[in-house]
Amino acid sequence: MAGSFNLQNVVDTYKSCLSENKEIYIKYYIAGWRELVSFMNSLGSLFSFISKDAVSKIQIMETFLMGENGAHYLTVQSMVKFELNNKLVDFTQSGSHPESGCRTLLRLHRALRWLQLFLESLRTSTEDSKTSIMCSEAYNESLAQYHSWFIQTAARLAFRTLPGRDAFFEVMNAGSQQQVVAMLGEATPLISEVHQITEDLYAKNKLLELP
């Protein structure tokens, strides 16, 4: 179960995510996902199909960030502007840019909503709360609507194997349960703010339904 995961690292990357004028740095946004992937990998092999997809999305974003147009991928705001101005975003299935930064980040953005709901319910949970139930409720309320029946079934199967609440707090590697709860209290408002800013930006540019 041991790994380098530590909840504090997640809090720190989300703290670094926002610029002074509330733009979201893609570098830290995906660093946050990298941390979460390392956490997921410590949960066992059923979670690896989930983390594989997350990793491939992270890699697509890293490739943009390191490519010749990397400077345009500094923030989510600059990416949206650059990709839209240069017609690099497919608004229908049959386009020639099936893996734009905008559509790739949208998948992570939808997953961030799941994370926000799940961490919030973990934070306010009690001794007899079940992680598997908290996880699937958060999923039903967020990501499930975007997933095929097949993926939903596999995801729900994985949720059933989640460790119980005590063990789960333990793998978060952030001290006593009280300390974990305090840290979650720090993490969730940061995640909410990043999520809300992205949501507003995507809504304004009609990007929320990208195929």
93-117 residues labelled b (16+ CB within 10 A) or e (exposed): eeeeeeebbbbbbbbbbbbbbbbbb
Q: CA-CA distance, 195 to 113, in Å (whole number)?
A: 7
Phi, psi of 89 (to 5 degrees): -115, 130
Question: Largest Cα–Cα distance of the chain, in whole Å?
Answer: 53
Applying CB under 6 A, the site for ligand 1PZ has a residue count of: 17
Is 40 one of the binding residues for ligand 1PZ (CB under 6 A)? yes
CB of 55 closer than 8 Å to CB of 37: yes
- 141-180 residues in contact with ligand 1PZ (CB under 6 A) are 143, 151, 155
Q: Which stretch binds ligand 1PZ (CB under 6 A): 24-32, 106-114, 184-192, 196-204?
A: 106-114
Residue of the chain from 114, 140, 163, 208 that contacts ligand 1PZ (CB under 6 A): 114
Min. distance of Cβ 113 from ligand 1PZ in angstroms?
11
Residues near ligand 1PZ (CB under 6 A) are: 36, 39-40, 49-50, 53-54, 107, 110-111, 114-115, 135, 139, 143, 151, 155
